[in-house]
Amino acid sequence: MSDHREPLSTDPLAGLRQRIDQLDRDLLAQLAQRMQAVAGIGRLKREDRATPLRDDRRERELFEVWAREAATLGMSPYFAGRVLREILNWSRREQERQLEGPEQPALRPRLRVGYQGVPACYSDLTLTKIFATRDSAGLERIGFRDFRSVVDALEAGELSHALLPIENTIAGSINEVYDLLAERSISIVGEEAWPVEHCLLGLPGTRLEDLRAVRSHPVALQQCQRFLEGLVGVRTESWHDTAGAAQSIPVEAARHVGAIASEEAAQHYGLEVLRREISDQRENLTRFVLLARGPERLDPRQPAKTSLLLAVNHRPGALLECLKVLGDRGLNLTKLESRPVPRSPWEYLFYVDFEGSTDEGRVQDALDELRSHTSRLKVLGCYPRRVGEPELDLAALAGGVSAAPSSNGAANGAPAVTPAPAAKVCAVPKSTGPAKLVAQRPDGRRTTVRVGDVEVGAEAFVMMAGPCSVESRTQVHEAAAIVRAGGARVLRGGAFKPRTHPYAFQGLGFEGLDLLVEAGRAYELPVVTEVLRPEDVEPIARRAHMLQVGARNMQNFALLKALGTTDRPVLLKRGMSATIEELLCAAEYVLAGGNHRVILCERGIRTFETSTRSTLDVSAVPVLRERTHLPILVDPSHAAGVRHLVQPLALAAAAAGADGLIVEVHPDPAVALSDKEQALDAQDFERLMAALRPVVRALGRTL
């Protein structure tokens, strides 16, 4: 850069400024060279996977050297430390970028990243930061009006990534984003924090006393309340986002209006910064998450964070048990957030972030154990840690005191940097067997699933009963009265019917569902009903206590995936031609989606035998008990197909070890609109219950 040197001016102020400009250029050139050397180290580490990514001892030495030399040069060691911290921060990122490898430009996926807001909003600025150290050639940014539309576009494949804010140090968690993470099939693949520095912006030449209004996002207005109170006679206007408020001012040529937004927004929209740092609180950070449709590869040496969503079993101390599972393995919790479960008062979903990667054995162990303490567990993502990195004590270094090397293992005093194993990359989470999540636990512990307030899989043998189809208000209320009086604990009833014949009664749909729920409420019974289509999962889950997947849909994988994202229990019936292994794989789909509340149901299979509608595979019950921890129900009605065989099959199922039964009961079977031959009436049901009691008792269970 020496060729750019200019003769110094004779005006002392201008002369000094020229000198500073020259020094800045030199500084920049030096920094660029330093980054090139860092990139070289990154490339070496890409080839040699035994070298750890971070060397904490070297970093500490650098801080000590800088502090010492700064002091010798008459400069504040603290200031030098701050500068070095930022340099090291970006050096680490550059090295991580190098780990990704030299991909062919043509092979690189196109980056289309969505965010909520308009250009130069805080999300957009953070996007620049997060992609500064990712391969971002041809990065395209697309602003959306709201969070939900961004996620819709991501799921639809219109975007490769989405960047959404998730929490702010002043305003707290952004609930809508947490809820989207629970509902949708998306993965967190990155995080980034942005220091929010609110400024007051106006058209160039505007004076504070000219202002009559200040507009911004309501949260920003609230964060600058004290400053705004000092502006006499100025009203505030809520805007959908901060940069949008800035954008509106030149458009309207609003000379008397100011906006609260970033300095970058001022530059972008040709505004002037009228006042800087107007937040009531100085430390105002927003944490963003980068989302993709699926997990992304991570080098095992990268310090990682894992985010989970879990619903704890409804038992005192259940959350504590979960946290203990993490604590016992030395996994450092960085965030715990709770959100109410929709429609289930006083039940909560928990969001847990901890330091560690799903590639580590201790994390995999923890996840396995957590599954037995939770009714729902979803790995939301595993990604490079950017927020909450342990920081060196600069003040201590500046005072010449070197921080004592920590004694936790690694020779270089590093806080448990994962030693690099073989050239392995992490994906979330790996399955070793065909159906791992449903598999029997090593200690044989069984899962119980709550349906409303009824526990299935525990000591009590659970009867579910009701009509094949909901036909009318009277019919379903009468059926509910019968089954309740007989001792059933759950009311069944089909509103959406999968009929073999296209002209047969197809069910009353949502109207039927409402009647079923109404009858369930009247007789204090939770209800189970069949769902046929993925798009109906959410609206049915809003009303019914449990969703049934019928035999004809056992391998409807889109439906199973949709059920994985709900928090309602699922009654999964075995397909008529499905093997037990296929049934378990179908259940695995639901569990892999994060929903652990699955009950399996044997309902008879197709064989060459025609004396019964299907052949009840009684042996499936003990086989399933060996292979899975999930509760097992039997449906003798659809297996028998005729009324008088329902009872003997029911007794066989109970004796074989089923956790309960689901049977069809109709107040007047002769006029039933579906499955009339197999429906029990009130007396049949009473007789069935009486016959079951001694069998169930002999097995040491209650009815």
Residues in the chain: 703
Torsion angles phi and psi, residue 2, rounded to 5: -60, -20
State which H helix or E strand residue 352 sits in: strand 348-355
Which parts of 658-701 are beta strand (E)? 660-664
Assess whether 608 carries a catalytic annotation.
no
Quickly list DSSP for 623-646. Answer: HHHHHBSS-EEE-HHHHH-SHHHH
Assess whether 557 carries a catalytic annotation.
no
CB of 281 to ligand PEP, least distance (A): 58
The residue among 452, 450, 456, 543 whose CA lies nearest residue 496 is 543
CB 639 within 8 A of CB 633: no
Task: Using the structure block, give the residue that is written with the tokens 């909520």.
Answer: 116
What is the DSSP pairing of strand 374-384 with strand 304-312? antiparallel
CB of 492 to ligand PEP, least distance (A): 7
Q: What mask, x for binding ligand PEP by CB under 6 A, covers residues 332 to 371? A: ----------------------------------------
Residues 266-295 binding ligand PEP (CB under 6 A) are none
State which H helix or E strand residue 598 sits in: strand 598-602
Query: Residue 573 binds which one of Mn ion, ligand PEP, none, with CB within 5 to 8 A depending on kind?
Result: ligand PEP
CB of 696 to ligand PEP, least distance (A): 22
Task: Using the structure block, give the residue that is written with the tokens 């579906």.
Answer: 674
Structure token pair of residue 494: 């089909």
Nearer to ligand PEP, 65 or 504 (CB): 504
Among 117, 143, 466, 494, binds ligand PEP (CB under 6 A): 494
Query: Residue 550 binds which one of Mn ion, ligand PEP, none, with CB within 5 to 8 A depending on kind?
Result: ligand PEP
Q: How many CA atoms lie within 13 A of 298 on its CB side?
A: 28
Nearer to Mn ion, 472 or 702 (CB): 472
CB of 556 to Mn ion, least distance (A): 18
Task: Using the structure block, give the residue that is written with the tokens 């807001």.
Answer: 117
The residue among 563, 616, 614 whose CA lies nearest residue 593 is 563
Among 471, 638, 645, 688, binds ligand PEP (CB under 6 A): 638
CB of 508 to ligand PEP, least distance (A): 14
d(CA 666, CA 404): 77
Residues 512-551 binding ligand PEP (CB under 6 A) are 550-551
- In the chain, the amino acid numbered 150 is V
Nearer to ligand PEP, 78 or 505 (CB): 505
Query: Residue 603 binds which one of Mn ion, ligand PEP, none, with CB within 5 to 8 A depending on kind?
Result: ligand PEP
Structure token pair of residue 332: 């450092």
Nearer to Mn ion, 369 or 675 (CB): 675
The residue number with the shortest CB distance to Mn ion is 468
Task: Using the structure block, give the residue that is written with the tokens 């001792």.
Answer: 487
d(CA 641, CA 616): 11
Residues 553-612 binding ligand PEP (CB under 6 A) are 573, 603
Nearer to ligand PEP, 126 or 529 (CB): 529
Nearer to ligand PEP, 498 or 622 (CB): 498
Determine which one of 286, 358, 447, 566 is catalytic: 286
Among 159, 245, 468, 479, binds ligand PEP (CB under 6 A): 468
- In the chain, the amino acid numbered 374 is T
Task: List all residues 6 or more positions away from 112 whose beta carbon is below 8 Å from its beta carbon.
Answer: 140, 142, 158, 159, 160, 161
Nearer to ligand PEP, 550 or 631 (CB): 550
Query: Residue 551 binds which one of Mn ion, ligand PEP, none, with CB within 5 to 8 A depending on kind?
Result: ligand PEP
CB of 308 to ligand PEP, least distance (A): 33
Nearer to ligand PEP, 353 or 530 (CB): 530
The residue number with the shortest CB distance to ligand PEP is 550
Query: Residue 161 binds which one of Mn ion, ligand PEP, none, with CB within 5 to 8 A depending on kind?
Result: none
Structure token pair of residue 659: 């956790």
CB 212 within 8 A of CB 256: yes
CB 628 within 8 A of CB 438: yes
CB 110 within 8 A of CB 140: yes
Please state, as a whole number, how many other Cβ atoms lie within 10 Å of the Cβ of residue 514: 15
The residue among 147, 68, 62, 134 whose CA lies nearest residue 100 is 134
CB of 160 to Mn ion, least distance (A): 45
Task: Using the structure block, give the residue that is written with the tokens 């043998």.
Answer: 461
d(CA 553, CA 559): 8
Nearer to ligand PEP, 59 or 635 (CB): 635
d(CA 250, CA 386): 36
Nearer to Mn ion, 617 or 635 (CB): 635
CB of 662 to ligand PEP, least distance (A): 7
The answer to the question of residue 666 lying near ligand PEP (CB under 6 A) is no
Determine which one of 131, 144, 288, 685 is catalytic: 288
Query: Residue 369 binds which one of Mn ion, ligand PEP, none, with CB within 5 to 8 A depending on kind?
Result: none
For the chain, the farthest-separated pair of C-alpha atoms sits apart, in whole angstroms, at 111
CB of 651 to ligand PEP, least distance (A): 20
Binding-site size, ligand PEP (CB under 6 A):
10
Query: Residue 386 binds which one of Mn ion, ligand PEP, none, with CB within 5 to 8 A depending on kind?
Result: none
Residues lying near Mn ion in the complex (CB under 5 A): 468, 675
d(CA 543, CA 514): 8
d(CA 394, CA 397): 5
CB of 494 to ligand PEP, least distance (A): 5
Q: Which residues are catalytic?
A: 286, 288
Query: Residues interacting with ligand PEP, by CB under 6 A?
Result: 468, 494, 498, 550-552, 573, 603, 635, 638
